[in-house]
Structure 1
């Protein structure tokens, strides 16, 4: 069965400057946990700039750990954690899990059996998240919602 998790990011962080650090740290922790569970991961981004920021965050996440990741290119298909952005054509290479950071679902998303997605704190981005949620449900995903505590 296909399943997914939507992580709802804490509203309280919107009021201070820790939101960026908190979300990057939470995201990297989540990716690290998935990789340590022997899962190959595709991270999808809307832009190359977003992909580069994710790449940099994964590099500096933990000085005592290496997360084998890279930006999407034709010659790195075997990298366990691959960061893709919209400008590329995805070749439907099998991966265990999709971590979605895009506003809109791509057609190839529905070939995955496991998806992780996020509900941001801004109202505009929440609308996009609701649309993705409906789309996953329509394609047979059983979805869970997890509220991320601030102390993560």
Structure 2
């Protein structure tokens, strides 16, 4: 069963959520995990794509937008396609539950203080809890 962690930032800005996702990706790569980042739309996917190249002078995160034919990538970003196998960590930046989340060992739900993001996140939290998923919560 998928382990789900909620990460709630103190900002109301998408950029802060994307930076938090970058930090989670960096941490996951240090653990050798395959990562799929699910966004709400193409513009968010491309914004995150650019940010992963530039957010830290000390890190290098090879990644691509899904679907990708590149082999050996540990990080994919997508908004309208399902990730390939293997599936270890899903980072959800959308406001909905990805239909494929149960294929993953772990999922990180990244939220901020924007009202629509919080309300949708609370609903997903309740749904996951009601279905018996192991939940962690991190207020940042």
Q: TM-score range by the shorter chain?
A: 0.7 to 0.9
Instruction: Provide, for residues 97-152 of structure 1, a one-character-per-residue CA deviation record: whole Å limited to 9, x for no partner.
Output: 0000011112211221201012321122211111221232344320011111xxxx
**Which of these two proteins has the greater Rg computed from alpha carbons?**
1
Preserved CA contact (<8 Å) 1:8 1:146: yes
| Structure 1 alignment gaps of length 5 or more | none
- Pick from 120, 125, 132 the counterpart of residue 128 of structure 1: 120
Q: TM-score, normalization: structure 2?
A: 0.87
For 2:41 and 2:71, the matched residues in 1 are separated by: 19
CA RMSD of aligned residues (A): 2.0
Q: 1:55 aligned to 49, 53, 60, which one?
A: 49
Poorly superposed stretches of 4+, deviation over 6 Å: none
Label 1:120 to 1:145 Cα distance change in 2 as closer, same or farther (>3 A).
same
Unaligned runs of 5+ in 2: none
How many residue pairs were aligned? 140
Quote the Cα distance in structure 1 between the aligned partners of 2:76 and 2:120: 23
TM (norm. structure 1) is 0.81
